[in-house]
Amino acid sequence: MSFLSHFMPEFWTRTSGETGGPRMLFNYRRMWKQTVIVTASVCLLPLWIMAAINYYQYHHALKAELIDPVERLVSSSSRSASFFLSERVSALRYILQANTYENLATPNQLGPILMNLKRAFGGFIDLGIIDSYGIQRVYAGPYQLEGKNYREQEWFKEVILRGVYISDVFLGYRDYPHFVIALTHEGPSGSLYVLRATIDTDVFNEMTRSLNNGDTTDAFIVTADGRLQTPSRFYGDTLGRFWHPVPPPDERNRTVFEELEDPGGKHIFLAYSHIPGSPFITVLVKRTPGILEGWFSLRRKLIGFFAVSTVGILIVILGVCTHLVSRIYMADRRRETVLHKVEYTNKLASLGRLAAGVAHEINNPLAIINEKAGLLKDVMELAPDFPNREKATGIADSILSSVERCSRITRRLLGFARHMDVSYETLYLDNLVREVLSFMGKESEYRNIHVNLTVAEDLPPVQSDRGQLQQVFLNILNNAFAAVTDGGRIDIELLPLAGDEVAIRISDNGCGIPPEHQKLIFEPFFTTKGRGGTGLGLSITYGIVQKLGGNIELESQEGVGTTFTITLPRIGTPEKTTQSRQEA
């Protein structure tokens, strides 16, 4: 059985034939659906909205808590690098201001200046003086670079145009990662010359290495075209290529943040900060399993709590809505049953009035026929020479006998139709059944239907109502005659039961009753005869048997036959008791 089957109300599982039509079922099912949807929306929609708002706010706050320290770290690193570069540019500019070209061009003068720079600032590898033609006139450092021509190199063209130039990291003649700071100055003759300094990248490496404070953090420096200026823990060595495009510099030099997946499928958090006055960009990468591990754990708990709450609310809503709509459904069914009973009572009253009127109309001509036949008989007796006296007297007696028979039939009809209180008397059921069978003798002879009555030898009398039992037997036998075909068989068995009860079983070998109709067979106005039936016979029979303190049961198999078993108490509550045993 599925989970929702526990919440399926009775009106959902019943067929249209059981409840009066598909339209009625549709109304209750639609009411149930609408009630569930509206209640669930009212209860769950605010929960979902609040959960979404809290989720967004908490995620935003958590990211802000993560972004602020990262931003401070990256900004601090960028300012440190910028200070490092500006400090060395200022030192070189001071050298140019404090010395003439002749002093700087002296071979023994540039070496002590380089030594002082290394001791004061660190990171300097060499110094060189380059004239306006790109020829290095003086060089102080570990290499032999005097006379080297830089005229066609891009950095030389840039420094001539801008006055100050900081290159990106390259290998060059030294075959070692370094970068260049170059400044121009005007000589005494008005010509420009360049002071060029080579800077070791170990300072940058140490600076970025200090930012790697965890297994999930990677800090490095890149250029705008994505070339690594320092080694990266995750993405390669110096002068390698960073896989993601670097955003352009911000006008306010603000830190830029991104969330994405790297080529290895890792969810990462990127922070960029441009170093002012240089081609360098500081990049900080943090992998989110380390950065957002607490958030993911909390998110799983929030989602689990939300799912459990939603399921719990839905279970309560389904249960309450099912209970309420089922109560409405059952109340409407009870109201419908009461209305059917009222309609049934009105129809019975109409039938009683009709029967009384028909019996009254028939009794009037019967009385006239009876009087005329009696008068005719008297006339024949007074006339001694009446021809064919014996034959005429026999005809008159036959007329009077037929009139008496018709009178008995109309009285029985009135007895069946008239609503009377239960009047108990002592009855022998075999005689009562034979009396009812006398109504149907002609039909059984005409259709060759075999009616067998079996009476137990120790069958006791019962105290019950004669007229009402006649109606019960007549209704059931009428249905049996209608169910069997010509040449069929009807068996009636009367036998005592334990507990001071008697049983009357009426069986036929007719068409039987389908299983889906057996539970409705005693409902008022339910009939399997189409327009030929009123649907009142068995309903009336059931009501009479219950009123007499008995019970009626049905056993039927389609195509085999039907058996009605009526159980009656031997002793009722007699209001009028008479001893009667008539011959059938």
Q: Which amino acid is at 155?
A: W
Return the closest-CA partner of residue 389 out of 380, 400, 397, 399: 380
83 is written with which tokens?
A: 């200070």
In sequence order, what E strands does 237-295 have? 256-261, 267-274, 281-287
Domains, the chain, with CATH or none: 99-200 (3.30.450.20), 422-569 (3.30.565.10)
Q: Say if residues 462 and 502 touch (Cβ distance below 8 Å).
A: yes
pLDDT at residue number 402: 81
Q: At what angle do helices 293-382 and 389-417 cross, to 10 degrees?
A: 160
Residues in the chain, pLDDT under 50:
1-5, 19, 573-584
Q: Say if residues 221 and 229 touch (Cβ distance below 8 Å).
A: yes
Q: Say if residues 484 and 445 touch (Cβ distance below 8 Å).
A: no
| Each residue's pLDDT tens digit, 150-191 | 998 888 999 999 999 999 998 877 788 889 999 999 877 778
Q: Which amino acid is at 40?
A: A
Q: What is the largest CA-CA distance in the chain?
A: 192
Strand 425-427 with 164-166, pairing: unpaired
pLDDT at residue number 534: 57
Q: Could you count the other beta carbons within 10 Å of the beta carbon of residue 108?
A: 8
| Each residue's pLDDT tens digit, 392-419 | 778 878 888 888 878 776 766 665 555 5
* Helix locations, 383-428, DSSP H: 389-417
Q: Which amino acid is at 108?
A: N
pLDDT at residue number 107: 72
Q: Say if residues 78 and 348 touch (Cβ distance below 8 Å).
A: no
pLDDT at residue number 196: 94
pLDDT at residue number 55: 77
Count H helices and E strands in the chain, helices first.
Answer: 15, 16
pTM beyond 0.85: the answer is no
Please provide the average confidence, as pLDDT, over all residues in the chain. 81
The conformation of residue 153, written as its DSSP 8-state character, comes to: S
398 is written with which tokens?
A: 């036959």
